[in-house]
Amino acid sequence: MSPTVFREKGYRFFFFSREEERMHVHVVSGDGEAKFWLSPDIELAKNHRLSRAQLKEIELLIEEHCDELINAWQEHFGH
């Protein structure tokens, strides 16, 4: 199961239900995918085929939606 938290600018931001405990979000688009840590700081964990410009755009979107992402994580995983 991979619940979508939100979609914006062609990116889908979501979680995998059975994965590591450290808070993070996965992002996918037609160009590639990435994983960002949400805690303790927003930080790129993995990147597959996304450009630097796309990663910066994604990071800004994560910053804008950080509270929403953290709340969704806590609701989904029960932490």
pLDDT, tens only, 4-52: 999 999 999 999 988 888 999 999 999 999 999 999 999 999 999 999 9
Q: What is the pTM of this model?
A: 0.94
H helices present in the chain, as ranges: 52-64, 66-77
Structural domain count of the chain: 1
Assess contact for 49 and 33: CB atoms under 8 A: yes
pLDDT of residue 41: 97
Question: Bridge-partner residues for 7, per DSSP?
Answer: 12
**Domain housing 17:** 4-77
Would the pLDDT of 66 be above 80?
Answer: yes
pLDDT at 79 over 80: no
DSSP 8-state code for residue 17? S
